[in-house]
Amino acid sequence: MQLSSTVIRSAGWRQAVVAVSLATYFVLALDFCYAGSPGRDSKKTANETYLFPTDASHQINSGFADYRETHFHGGIDISTNGRIGYPVYAAKSGYVYRVSVSPYGYGKMILLRHDDSTFTLYGHLSEFSKKIQKLVETARKKEKKYGVRLRFQSGEIPVRRGEIIARTGATGIGGPHLHFEIHGKNYSYIDPLIYKSVDVTGYRTPRIFNVAVREFNSGLTEVSSVSGRDGECRSNEEFHLNEPFYFIVHAADSYGRENFKRPPKYITLKIDGRDFISLNLTRIATDDYLDINSLVDFELSRGSKTYYILCVNRAIPFSVFTPGAPLSGLVGRNFTNGIHTYEITVKDEDGNEATATGKFVLGLPGSSTRTNGSMAADPAVPLPFSERTISPSPALSVQFPANCFTRNIDVSVHQQSPDSFQIEPAGEPLRKKLKVTWKVNDAGLLLFRKLRYGWSHIPYSNDGKVLTAEVGFRTGEFALLRDNVPPIVDRIRVSRKNPFYRSVAPNEFNRVFVYFRVSDKLSGINTDDILLKVGSKEYLCEYDVDKHAAMCRVDAGLLRRQRRITVVVADNAGNERTVVSKVKFR
């Protein structure tokens, strides 16, 4: 086998601490390999206590712990074949603990609490059961807004296992599907697919695409390509490492129509045939939910290619690594100099696995070639980001809480003009929100963040003297802008069927859909207060973020008598648009 090798000089991040306090690196990349035939027998061991929540399909569109820019994917997305309206069943007996309605996130959502103090969550619903729907409508009328959050006590709304609690939909972010989560007693996130009763179709064997090792200080990157088959990938090249290092792996799993986008659930690293460190992505503690950026390597990850760091960040400890493991994942001075072998195994919930093996030569300066080297790794040096406030001008200050970044970085704030500032390095993920305080002396100014597609409005408080806001997601460019332009409302239309998605549910209420496109170029739509008037009756409309449209169900008889419709829409700057239209309906 021919192996090509390329050496690249990298500037690196001199104060990077993604998994440990590591700066620049050395990389060994192995070309993708995959195992042979999937295992026939499921390796699931969890008790069969959960009912599959829908009969729409057993196909998964997105898996547990899939990478999102700001968090782990906390559940599974079940395909509904591009349709809405399938029954949603309670996976276990219990009671309705919380209900929320929002045009964002989970959309219409139900959280059940069960008799054993565990929880299940059902998201992106089109409608609730009649009892829940009535309580939601009452809350909307009382609060006079679309988005509501309701919490219930035990006994208020009991549910039995298999009872229909809602119907599948496409509310919130994304097209038609059912988002399903299981939470432990302490609300930790649990992969639903570890349970035998929650099964899906089309398991496929995971693949290992690339393996990397990162040196402590060298700044050199060496990439090599290899080939392998039948579940065994191997590089015959001996790579010489002169500093402590850790492993990174690009691996993915798939089932059904997916093309290897979800992470494998178990990753194990052995060195010289002995267990070194393990990663378990079937259970994620609540405190770790937002810390995926500490586990993902952004130097190597591109697009859908996600590289996972096999090293514990002591500044941000992860529950996903082997419980109680004394190893940090950093290979260093407690290993003998000389030739060592490694083996990385990735596995899914069903027991299918793939393995990549290779060799490295350790030659640490000043280190003996002792033969009694311990498997205990060098301790990872914690370099947490300390709390600080940066004021680039007397009018502006940005407060950074402790450990708001996943690594220790040199952060700076540059005020480019009196109305804009930049937090650098740009695009850095934030674990905690930053507090911005800005003396503006103008209540008409709004705070915005610059994204790829334009400016995005940030919620704020502005009393005409001082603007305060909390900034999350990522660092970047921010500005004060003025929005005096009201939203745009397109033609109002009427349909007997859902205008955006095909529904399998019957229209039980003799209602029709009134819908219209609505958009705003700057501050965005105030989605809580899109008002539709038919005669003297008022309706709060549902906003579809993906379609940029609003709709609501109206009594068909009322619409036949009162064909004059009024729509009132406002943006987040308070600009309002009123449109009056006559509709034809029989």
pLDDT tens-digit map of 390-432: 999 999 999 999 888 877 788 999 998 999 999 999 988 888 8
Indicate left, alpha or beta for 11 from its phi (over 0: left) and psi (-120 to 50: alpha): alpha
Residue 14: predicted pLDDT: 26
Q: Identify the band that residue 452 occupies on the pLDDT scale cut at 50, 70 and 90.
A: confident
Residue 300: predicted pLDDT: 81
- DSSP letter for each residue of 357-384: EEEEEE--TT----S---SPPPPP---P
Measure the CA–CA gap between 537 and 167, rounded to whole angstroms.
27
Residue 416: predicted pLDDT: 84
User: Which CATH number is associated with domain 60-194?
Assistant: 2.70.70.10
Q: Identify the band that residue 349 occupies on the pLDDT scale cut at 50, 70 and 90.
A: confident
At 372, the amino acid letter reads: N
Residue 221: predicted pLDDT: 55
* Whether residue 213 has pLDDT greater than 60: yes
Return the minimum-mean-pLDDT range out of 65-69, 107-111, 243-247.
65-69
Structure-block tokens of residue 444: 């008409």
Domain segments of the chain as ranges: 5-38+203-362, 60-194, 388-481, 488-582
Once rounded to an integer, what is the mean pLDDT over residues 345-356? 87
- C-beta separation of 417 from 425 below 8 A: no
Q: Where are the alpha helices (DSSP H) in 317-454?
A: none
Residue 41: predicted pLDDT: 37
Q: Identify the band that residue 548 occupies on the pLDDT scale cut at 50, 70 and 90.
A: very high
Once rounded to an integer, what is the mean pLDDT over residues 470-497? 92
Distance of CA 176 to the CA centre of its chain: 18
Q: Which CATH architecture group holds 388-481?
A: Sandwich (2.60)
Q: Answer with the residue of higher pLDDT: 298 or 485.
A: 485
- C-beta separation of 57 from 504 below 8 A: no
* Whether residue 584 has pLDDT greater than 80: no
* Whether residue 382 has pLDDT greater than 60: no
Average pLDDT, the chain: 81
Report percent pLDDT > 90 for the chain: 41
At 415, the amino acid letter reads: Q
Once rounded to an integer, what is the mean pLDDT over residues 361-385? 56
Once rounded to an integer, what is the mean pLDDT over residues 332-354? 87
How many Cα atoms within 13 Å fall on the side-chain side of residue 8? 15
Q: Identify the band that residue 313 occupies on the pLDDT scale cut at 50, 70 and 90.
A: low
- This prediction's pTM: 0.85
- Model pLDDT for residues 51-99, shown as the tens digit of each residue: 999 999 998 888 898 887 777 889 999 999 999 999 999 999 999 999 9
Measure the CA–CA gap between 96 and 155, rounded to whole angstroms.
9
- Model pLDDT for residues 516-529, shown as the tens digit of each residue: 999 998 999 999 98
With vertex at residue 150, the alpha carbon angle to CA 146 and CA 156, rounded to the nearest 5 degrees, is 135
Residue 253: predicted pLDDT: 84
The helix/strand/coil state of 31 is coil
* Whether residue 230 has pLDDT greater than 60: no
Measure the CA–CA gap between 497 and 557, rounded to whole angstroms.
16
Give whole-number Cα distances, 100 to 18, 109, 124, 129, in Å: 35, 5, 10, 14
Once rounded to an integer, what is the mean pLDDT over residues 118-129? 96
Class of domain 488-582: mainly beta
Please give, one letter per residue, the 3-state secondary structure of 249-308.
Answer: EEEEEEECCCCCCECCCEEEEEECCEEEEEEECCEECHHHCCCHHHCECCCCCECCECEE
- C-beta separation of 540 from 146 below 8 A: yes
* Whether residue 310 has pLDDT greater than 90: no
Residue 72: predicted pLDDT: 83
Q: Identify the band that residue 226 occupies on the pLDDT scale cut at 50, 70 and 90.
A: low
Residue 224: predicted pLDDT: 56
At 31, the amino acid letter reads: D
Report percent pLDDT > 70 for the chain: 80
- Assess whether the region 60-194 and the region 488-582 belong to the same CATH fold: no
